[in-house]
Amino acid sequence: METAEIIQNTGGVIGVSWLMIALPLLGAVVLLLGGRRTNGWGHLLGVAMSVASFVVAVVAFIEILGLAEDQRRQAVPLYDFIPGLAKMGLLIDPLSICFALLITGVGSLIHIYSIGYMSHDPDRRRFFAYLNLFVAAMLLLVLADNYVGLYIGWEGVGLASYLLIGFWQHKPSAATAAKKAFIVNRVGDFGLAIGIFTIWTTFGSVAYGPVFEVAGQADQGVLTAIGLLLLLGACGKSAQLPLQSWLLDAMEGPTPVSALIHAATMVTAGVYLVVRSGAIYFHAETAQFVVTIVGVATLLAGAIIGCAKDDIKKALAGSTMSQIGYMMLAAGLGPVGYAFAIAHLITHGFFKANMFLGAGSVMHAMNDEVDMRKYGGLWPVMKVTAVTFLTGYLAIIGFPLLSGYFTKDGIIEATMHVNPVLGWLAVAGAGITGFYMSRVMFMTFFGKRRWAEDAHPHESPAVMTIPLIILSVGSVFLGAFLILSNRLTLFLAPAVGRPKDLLEFHWNSTPGLVTLALVAAGVALAWVKYGRAEVPQVAPRGSFLTTFARRDLYGDALNESLFMRPGQWLTRIAVFFDNRGVDGLVNGLAAGIGGTSGRLRRLQNGFVRSYAMSILFGAAVVVGALLYVGTM
């Protein structure tokens, strides 16, 4: 795998790229420490910091474009972080700048949208503080030039995610969901931490440059272990099987959070980790193969879950899982898939954020109702939302010439190239996507109005619709821009390696045509079931398969019986032993010491004569003892 050399930065905007992280971090600090005093203008500061960070990213991006290809990976050293272990520094290269642009760009749009969405919330300032914290942590994650920095960002986004899922902590469901996300992520983070420890003991460094340089010389077994451990971390953060269960519950958070963290950016961190560690996976084929398996399994599981959810956000969350499964699959293919993984990640960031914000706009209009069975026929009353949602919908199902069409097709083609079985499964997933996304579309905007009696839907204010419009433009055109003439592949080549042979886009390839046919069939089926037919307000019982999907493929049941109940038993046993055995011993000892103390205390009777006596007695003992020692 050939990547460009990492060179030392010599100034320019890239030299101050730490500003990207520092600005939102400053915003978070000011808003959190400033307290209520900042309530009045807190949201504006939050937006300003995010936008400023975006501006820095754009200028740095332009600077990179102006450089020769072998100059495009620049290390920006910051300070000696842990002497002897890690120097903290940033790595600005095509890969990290893509993420920085996505995070700050989509992030800024969602910040702006949140001004409107959270306008009635008394805690809006705290919300923006957490959003800024998230942006800073996520940028550290993707910009750090070593695994320790990545890990700090990784935990930082985990913290922000926890805080934001549980933002309405007065709702028990939100508090529980936040805890669940945190605990499930703990499993993944544990894997990542051990993976980083293994990297340190194997290579003697945690910085990307030195590690990747010698990655091939390490033992095959160790490399596989590292690859699998990193994958475990990626599964936790990116909600891939078997650590997917938290993402659906995470929809308890405010909708902009679902859009930014649980759709567009944070959940793609796992994909970033796998792509960034490409040099390690290059030499660990087993681990790489496992990555593709996880990706395919998740893309199908997410799609099936998405088919059965009546909660609009949960249906979208299932689709997020599924789409990240596509990215993971591509990331497991090696250099041939990396560019498609990132391209799909970027376009997905746009169209999924677009649809989530659209869903938020609908909820805003419908008194926070999330059940799609209570929607229907909304398009005449909220045209901007409906049209922008439509573009996102068309993009995700892969409607020709829209973003998803190019990026998903790229992934399918690349998979066919490597492993046709997985390729056909990905095609099947695309068909299911056509069905469940159409179901969401029809149930929400078309068909009969099934609104609650007190619902008076209206279009959202401009501060919410303008970000929707911008995102929808991205949903429409970005895919073609990135994929045609291999633009993104060539741009990323210095960072992730150039594939052996470039895949050209063909509109008439067999898998592409089959995909289109399956998607059309899925849309048609959805039209029959949810567009033309009456949608009952109460969900019918459904078949075994529906129940299976509604219960998230029994993921929670599995976790509960495999981990939670044995864990509870273990705790009970430990408590029992602690109470009877350990405490008994400790309490007995404490009682003994306490009793001694009480008895000795009586010697302290307050009479100076007894004190003098004790001194005399002590002196006699000391003299006697010294004399005794002297005779020995």
| CA atoms of 614 and 271, how far apart (whole Å) | 76
What would the DSSP string read from start to end of 245-259?
HHHHHGGGS-HHHHH
Stretch 74-103: interaction string toward other proteins, x if CB under 8 A: ------------------------------
| CA atoms of 462 and 115, how far apart (whole Å) | 11
What does the DSSP 8-state code read for residue 606? Answer: S
- Whole-angstrom CA distances from 330 to 284, 363, 387 are 16, 34, 30
Measured from the CB atom, is 68 or 600 closer to other proteins?
A: 600
Measured from the CB atom, is 570 or 620 closer to other proteins?
A: 620
**Distance in Å, CB of 233 to other proteins, minimum:** 30
Measured from the CB atom, is 448 or 601 closer to other proteins?
A: 601
Phi, psi of 89 (to 5 degrees): -160, 170
| CA atoms of 481 and 476, how far apart (whole Å) | 10
Place of tokens 């997905």: 348
**Distance in Å, CB of 200 to other proteins, minimum:** 24
**Distance in Å, CB of 582 to other proteins, minimum:** 15
> Which among 392, 396, 421, 391 has a CA at the least distance from the CA of 409?
396
367 part of the interface to other proteins, by CB under 8 A = no
Contact 268, 330 (CB under 8 A): no
Measured from the CB atom, is 44 or 593 closer to other proteins?
A: 593
Is the link from the previous residue into 242 a cis peptide, with omega within 30 of 0? Answer: yes
**Distance in Å, CB of 136 to other proteins, minimum:** 25
| CA atoms of 389 and 409, how far apart (whole Å) | 21
What does the DSSP 8-state code read for residue 168? Answer: T
Q: Which stretch binds other proteins (CB under 8 A): 109-117, 303-311, 395-403, 613-621?
A: 613-621
Contacts of other proteins in 107-146 (CB under 8 A): none
Q: What angle do CA 242, 496, 473 make, to 5 degrees?
A: 80
> Which among 465, 472, 467, 458 has a CA at the least distance from the CA of 382?
458
**Distance in Å, CB of 82 to other proteins, minimum:** 16
**Distance in Å, CB of 87 to other proteins, minimum:** 21
Parallel, antiparallel or unpaired: strands 7-8 and 86-92: unpaired
Contact 355, 388 (CB under 8 A): no
For other proteins (CB under 8 A), the number of binding residues is 28
Contacts of other proteins in 240-269 (CB under 8 A): none
Parallel, antiparallel or unpaired: strands 74-82 and 7-8: parallel
Place of tokens 């593709």: 292
**Distance in Å, CB of 616 to other proteins, minimum:** 8
Contacts of other proteins in 573-612 (CB under 8 A): 590, 593-594, 596-598, 600-601, 603-604, 606, 608, 610-612
Q: Which stretch binds other proteins (CB under 8 A): 141-149, 393-401, 464-472, 621-629?
A: 621-629
User: Which of 216, 221, 420, 618 is close enough to bind other proteins by CB under 8 A?
Assistant: 618
**Distance in Å, CB of 575 to other proteins, minimum:** 20
Place of tokens 């390839």: 509
Measured from the CB atom, is 8 or 597 closer to other proteins?
A: 597
Measured from the CB atom, is 214 or 593 closer to other proteins?
A: 593
Measured from the CB atom, is 538 or 603 closer to other proteins?
A: 603
Measured from the CB atom, is 33 or 623 closer to other proteins?
A: 623
627 part of the interface to other proteins, by CB under 8 A = yes
Measured from the CB atom, is 41 or 611 closer to other proteins?
A: 611
Residue 36, H or E segment: none
Question: How many contiguous H segments (helices) and E segments (strands) does the chain have?
Answer: 27, 3
Q: Which stretch binds other proteins (CB under 8 A): 80-88, 119-127, 132-140, 617-625?
A: 617-625
What does the DSSP 8-state code read for residue 605? Answer: -
**Distance in Å, CB of 430 to other proteins, minimum:** 56
Contact 461, 385 (CB under 8 A): no
Measured from the CB atom, is 68 or 608 closer to other proteins?
A: 608
User: Which of 41, 554, 563, 617 is close enough to bind other proteins by CB under 8 A?
Assistant: 617
Q: Could you tell me the two tokens for 314?
A: 């949960």
| CA atoms of 443 and 449, how far apart (whole Å) | 9
Tell me the longest C-alpha to C-alpha distance in the chain: 111
Q: Which residues pair with 80 in a beta bridge?
A: 87
**Distance in Å, CB of 194 to other proteins, minimum:** 25
62 part of the interface to other proteins, by CB under 8 A = no
**Distance in Å, CB of 37 to other proteins, minimum:** 20
**Distance in Å, CB of 33 to other proteins, minimum:** 17
Measured from the CB atom, is 84 or 606 closer to other proteins?
A: 606
What does the DSSP 8-state code read for residue 553? Answer: G
What percentage of the chain's residues is helix, strand, coil (to nearest 5)?
75, 5, 20
Measured from the CB atom, is 575 or 621 closer to other proteins?
A: 621
**Distance in Å, CB of 193 to other proteins, minimum:** 22
Q: Which stretch binds other proteins (CB under 8 A): 231-239, 256-264, 470-478, 615-623?
A: 615-623
Stretch 417-456: interaction string toward other proteins, x if CB under 8 A: ----------------------------------------
Measured from the CB atom, is 574 or 622 closer to other proteins?
A: 622
Measured from the CB atom, is 65 or 625 closer to other proteins?
A: 625
Order of all β-strands in the sheet with 74-82: 7-8, 74-82, 86-92
**Distance in Å, CB of 597 to other proteins, minimum:** 4
Measured from the CB atom, is 543 or 631 closer to other proteins?
A: 631
Q: Could you tell me the two tokens for 350?
A: 């746009």
| CA atoms of 433 and 295, how far apart (whole Å) | 15
Q: What angle do CA 469, 167, 247 make, to 5 degrees?
A: 70
**Distance in Å, CB of 427 to other proteins, minimum:** 58
> Which among 305, 255, 20 has a CA at the least distance from the CA of 137?
20
User: Which residues of the shown chain bind other proteins in the complex (CB under 8 A)?
Assistant: 590, 593-594, 596-598, 600-601, 603-604, 606, 608, 610-612, 614-615, 617-619, 621-623, 625-627, 629-630
